[in-house]
A and B are shown apart, each in its own frame.
Chain A
Amino acid sequence: MSRYRVTSLAEHEWRYGAVPPCGRSGRTRPERLIDVVEASGLTGRGGAGFPTGRKMRSVAGRGATVVVANGAEGEPASSKDRLLLARLPHLVLDGITLAADAVGACEAYLCAHRRETGLLDLLRDAVAEREAAGIDPVPIRITGIPGRYVSSEQSSIVQYLNGGPGKPTFSPPRTHDRGVRGRPTLVNNVETLAQVALIARYGDRWFRGAGLSSAPGSMLVTVSGAVRRPGIYEIEMGTPAGQAVMLAGGPAEPLQALLVGGYFGAWLPARIAWPVPMTPAGLRAVGGALGAGVVIALPAASCPLSETARVIRYLAGESAAQCGPCLFGLPALADAVADLAYHGGRRAGTGPIAALIRLTEGRGACRHPDGAGQFVRSALRAFTADVGRHDRHGPCRAIRRAPLLPVPGDEDRDWDWT
């Protein structure tokens, strides 16, 4: 965190102005901000891409509610939320205060991984600065949550804040009906809330000035892999995936594919991925997902199957082990993909892997098995030639190349769910 300079409250207000009196505390009716956010067309930047205004409306006007800002970035290849929180904490905190005001919240939380103590300290300092200035009518509590992949799912966060383990729950009840302390709860990604803070200041027409009419605004993307300047970039919604790679300095060596959307996203052959617009619909159309805006460039010299095998093994280990089909299905799927990548030569085709995906999809309380299945299915589709070669002749030499996709080691995992 020390690499980044935190923007102080004074600097923040000099740059953006004070928090606009948009909601309950302002002259206009409390729902005014929700109208503006709805008109802006902002969608969630955490992965699901749900319309933010509609989500706020489903919680508003139902008595005392709760706002939760989700900064627990579970995706190993994403770091945009950490960067945003570390550089511009007050923009996110403004968004929390505005959202709390608009939905009538009596409590607000900002959650990040509990092992990121530097980030949590920085956020507590930022909240203290605001408390001294009397900015936030609803107190914002900074809370560290378990750092597991599924712990940043919204029902996991709610269950954790209610004193339970950071694991997904069965729904209904959904968090917007019954969340923290049984109150209707708005869970938004921190980038989404930062966008809310900008929309409250500059308006929905300003927001629509960037991006597409069907997917307006800008988004943060984390570009990594074989690119010259890996990092976090802001792009307009609808920017082609290839342009995101070019922003990051372009390919560092010849590429064969992009992984777009992270580990619940999809592999796309480079030629297909290059023009694909970075929007939820654009990526859905090619069998992928926008997710939290992760783009990883895979070199032609890498083995895509061994990369996929490592990630699906990681995802299998990240199951909360609550639902049978995920608990047993994902390790079986990881075994099958590892067998194809590292042994191969069985001439079994992709049938056994496809059958395991079908056996796990849609059968968990959360979408963990579905995301993992989509990821493996995209590998079978994008790398048919590699799949065929491994299946007929055994593994390629590239399996010995140093792995590219980041997978946390056991020493970096948070083993305690409670």
Chain B
Amino acid sequence: MSYRLRINPIACDGHGMCAELLPEIIELDRWGYPILRSPTVPPVMAAHAKRAARACPTLALLLEPATGTHR
């Protein structure tokens, strides 16, 4: 199963946990908000991505199946 990441920018408060837990995919901008280097999560990173999504204090990091119907 491959996954993709999405950020809910309204929910995100820039706590930065995601960038700590998933630096391979997420970096922070100059104001502390996450930037996705790529929305696709390589299978080897799936467990780390799940951990990062669970750790977000505002539940703003969304991990979804890559075959979802949503854009």
Contacts and interface: CB of A to CB of B under 8 A. Distances in A.
A365 B11 CA distance: 10
Given A172-B70, A324-B14, A364 B31 contact: no
B70 A328 contact: no
Contacts of B70: 172
A159 B31 CA distance: 28
Interface string A345-369: 0000000000000010001110000
Interface string A172-210: 100000000000000000000000000000000000000
Interface string B21-35: 000000001111101
Contact of A170 (B8, B31, B35): B8
Interface residues of B, number: 14
B10 A325 contact: no
B45 to A, nearest CB: 22
Interface string A196-235: 0000000000000000000000000000000000000000
A108 B13 CA distance: 36
Nearest to B69: A172
A322 B31 contact: no
B29 A170 contact: no
A325 B29 contact: yes
B65 interface: no
B3 to A, nearest CB: 17
A147 interface: no
Nearest to B30: A359
Contacts of B32: 324
Contacts of A53: none
Contacts of B31: 324-325, 328-329
Contact of A363 (B11, B30, B33): B33
B32 to A, nearest CB: 7
A96 B11 CA distance: 34
A323 B32 CA distance: 12
A322 B29 contact: no
Interface in A308-322: 322
Contacts of A324: 9, 12-14, 29, 31-33
Contacts of A365: 8-10
Contacts of A325: 9, 29, 31, 33
Nearest to A322: B10
A325 B34 CA distance: 9
A170 B30 contact: no
Interface of B: 8-14, 29-33, 35, 70
Interface of A: 169-170, 172, 322-326, 328-329, 359, 363-365
9 contacts: A169-B10, A170-B9, A172-B70, A322-B9, A324-B14, A359-B29, A363-B33, A365-B8, A365-B9
Given A170-B11, A322-B9, A324-B13, 11 more contacts: A170-B8, A172-B70, A322-B10, A324-B14, A324-B33, A325-B29, A325-B33, A329-B31, A359-B29, A363-B9, A363-B33
